[in-house]
Chains A and B, each alone.
Chain A
Amino acid sequence: MDKLDNTYLWEKLAQKFTDQVSLLTDAHNLLTVDAKEACITAVLNFLKQDEELQFIHLTDITAVHFPLQKKAFEVVYHIHSLVNNIRIRVKVQLDGENPEIPTATTVWKGANWMERETYDFYGIQFLGHPDLRRILNVDDMEVFPMRKEYPLEDPNRVDKKDLYFGR
C-alpha cells in the first residue's frame, strides 16, 4: 500500500477509540493526539501491535507541567513506525494533585528509564512500573525539580520582566 499519512492514521485511531482520543494538531507533519488516561495502554498497544501501523519504536516519554490548568500535567509519548516511516505524538492530561498513569513498560521495556526520569522530574506515578525510583537525582530528594513551581532565577530581577519590554 501507499505510505501511511496522518489523515489515515487519525481515522484509524478515531475508529478504534472513538471518544477516547481527540485530534490536537498535525503541525510540522507530526500527528498529535490526546488520549484519555484510562485507555493509554490500549492505545499504545494498538499502535504497536496493529499489523498495518507497526509503531514498534518508542522514541521518547516525557512530561510538561502547566501549573495553571486543572489537568496540570501532560505526559507526552513520541512513537515511531519504522516500517511506515511515520511518527505520532500521544499526549495524556493528568490531574495536578495526584498524577497517576499506567506504565508503558508492559508495551516496551525501553519505557523503564524514560518513566523513571519523568517520575524523577515531575513526580508522576507510573502505576505498575517494576522499579519506580529516582534516576538522575539523589534518592532522598523531596521535591520534583522540573515542576514550574521552582523558579530558577531571582524573582526580584526587573531586567527580564515582560512589563518593561512592552509585552
Chain B
Amino acid sequence: MSDFITKISPNNSVYEDNDPQDELITLNIGPTHPATHGVFQNVVQIDGERIVSGVSTIGYIHRAFEKIAEHRPFYQITPLTDRLNYCSAPINNMGWHMTVEKLLKIEIPKRVQYMRVIVMELARIADHIICNGILGVDTGAFSGFLYVMQEREFIYEIFEEICGARLTTNIGRIGGFERDFNDIAFAKIEEFLKRFPPVLSEFSELFDRNRIFIERTSGVAAVTPEEALDYSWSGPILRATGVDYDVRVQNPYCSYEEFDFDVPVGTKGDVYDRYLVRNAEMWQSLRIIEQALAKIEKEPKGVFHADVPEFYLPPKEQVYTNMEALIYHFKIVMGEVDTPKAEVYHAVEGANGELGFYLVHDGGRSPYRLHFRRPSFVNYQMFAPMSAGMLLSDAILNMSSLNVIAGELDA
C-alpha cells in the first residue's frame, strides 16, 4: 500500500516546496466506504475538498472466473456469468448462451428470441432503476430509491415465476429456456407494463427538475465524446456524451432489428445526462417488452427451445425414466458432445455497456480460453484520471453515475 501512495506524491504533497499550508491529505475512499457500492478502493490526495490526484485499486473480489471457465463444460459456466453483473444477471446469462449458440451454429426459434428480449429488457430496467435510485441517495434524496426498489422486487417476482430464482437467475439454456413462461409470468409481465410507467413518471418528477438535484449533478464529471471513445466507454455513459452506439442497433441479436425503439443520447456527458439517458432507456425498454409480447402472441405456443437434443438438457422427469434421455443428460453435463474448433466473439448490450464474450474453443470439453469483456471494468478506469480537480462530493456522484458493479469489475 505504502508503495503506491508515495507514487502519487512523494512527501505527501504535489507542491515542490513543502509549504506546510499546502500539505495534502491522503484519503481512502473504499474498500468499504458506503459510496463505493462495492469492494473497491480509491486512494486520493485532497487539498481541502478538492481532489488533486488519485489511484484506483480493484481486485478485492477477484474470483478467477476466466480460469475456472477453462475447466468447466459450457453449462457449468452459466452460474459464473450470473455473478458478473448481479444487478442484471439474465443479460450476462443470455449473452453467454448466445455465444455458445454462435459457436455451435444453432438457430433459435423466433418465440424464444422474443422471450429472451423480454427477460433482458426487464433486467435492464432492474439495473437502471437501482443505479438512478442510488444516485438519488448519494445526493441525499432517499424516497426515490424506495419507490423504485418496489418495482425491482416485482421484476424479481417475474424472474422467480420464470425460473424459480430471483437474483442469480441461471435462466437460460443452450438453445432457449429451461421451461416456458407460464400464464402467471405473462400476467405479471403485463401487470408490470401497467404499474411501472406511473412509478417511473413519479420518480422522474422527483428528480428531473429538482433544483438541488440539478445543481449537484449538472456539469459534474462532464466527458466529451472523444475522451469517452478514447477510454473505450460503452453503454449509457457513452451515449450520455452524445455517441449513439448501442449494440442492439449496431449488431442486433435476438431479432432486435425487428423492434421499434430509440437510442436516447445526451449532450454534455455529465452526471445529469447519464441519469436522463438511463431514465429514457427504461421507457424504451417498456416499448420493447410491449412489442415482444405482441410478437409472441403470433408465434406457435409452447416453443421454448431449439430442437437440438445433443446440446439441450432433456427434461428431468425423462432423465429418471428414459435411457436415451439419461445418456444425453450425462453427455451434455460432462461436456462429452462434439463441438467445433472455433473462435467466437459475441457482444450484447449489457446494462452498463458492451458485454462481450471471447471464446476460443479447441473442440474439447471446456473452452480453451474464455474472456469476458466487462463494461464496468473498461468504464471505471477513467474514474481516477477524471477525478483530478473535482470536489470530493462530486467524485462520489460521478462514481454512482458510472454504475460500477464490483462483480463485473473484478470477475
Contact = CB atoms under 8 A, between A and B. Distances in A.
A29 B347 CA distance: 14
A110 B230 contact: yes
A60 B245 contact: no
A165 B336 contact: yes
Nearest to B72: A152
Interface in B366-383: 368-369, 371, 373, 377-378, 381
Interface string A103-127: 0000011111110010001000000
B230 A109 contact: yes
A137 B342 CA distance: 30
Give the interface SS of chain B, mostly helix, strand, loop or mixed: mixed
A114 B411 CA distance: 13
A145 B250 CA distance: 35
A36 B168 CA distance: 43
A64 B231 contact: no
A22 interface: no
A57 B373 contact: no
A145 B70 CA distance: 12
A117 to B, nearest CB: 8
A93 interface: no
Contacts of A108: 230-232
Contact of B232 (A28, A59, A138): A59
A51 interface: no
A78 B356 contact: yes
Contacts of A109: 230-231
A82 interface: yes
Contacts of B365: 160
A30 B345 contact: yes
Interface string B70-82: 1100000000000
Contact of B245 (A57, A65, A111): A57
A13 interface: no
B232 A110 contact: yes
A152 B345 contact: no
A47 B58 CA distance: 31
B66 A57 contact: no
A36 to B, nearest CB: 20
A85 B245 CA distance: 10
Interface in B215-273: 229-234, 243, 245, 250-251
A156 B71 CA distance: 15
Contact of A137 (B59, B230, B343, B368): B59
A57 B59 CA distance: 25
B345 A89 contact: yes
A41 to B, nearest CB: 16
A78 B346 CA distance: 11
A72 interface: no
B404 to A, nearest CB: 13
A142 to B, nearest CB: 16
Interface string A51-85: 00000111110101100000000001010001001
Contacts of A117: 377
A64 B368 contact: yes
A136 interface: yes
Interface in A138-167: 138-139, 145-146, 152-153, 160, 165
A27 interface: yes
A135 interface: yes
B343 A85 contact: no
Interface string B348-375: 0000001010101000010011010100
> Which of B245, B354, B365, B378: most chain A Cβ within 10 A?
B378
B345 A110 contact: no
Given A110-B378, A136-B58, A160-B365, A87 B231 contact: no
Contact of B344 (A28, A76, A136): A28
12 contacts: A59-B347, A60-B371, A62-B358, A62-B371, A76-B358, A89-B343, A110-B231, A110-B381, A114-B378, A136-B58, A136-B62, A160-B365
Given A57-B229, A82-B250, A113-B381, 19 more contacts: A27-B342, A32-B343, A56-B229, A58-B232, A60-B358, A64-B369, A85-B250, A109-B230, A110-B233, A111-B232, A113-B377, A113-B378, A114-B232, A117-B377, A136-B59, A139-B3, A152-B67, A152-B70, A153-B71
Which 5 pairs, one residue from A and one from B, show the smallest C-beta to C-beta distance? Answer: A110-B232, A136-B59, A113-B381, A136-B62, A110-B231
Interface of A: 25, 27-28, 30, 32, 56-60, 62, 64-65, 76, 78, 82, 85, 87, 89, 108-114, 117, 121, 133-139, 145-146, 152-153, 160, 165
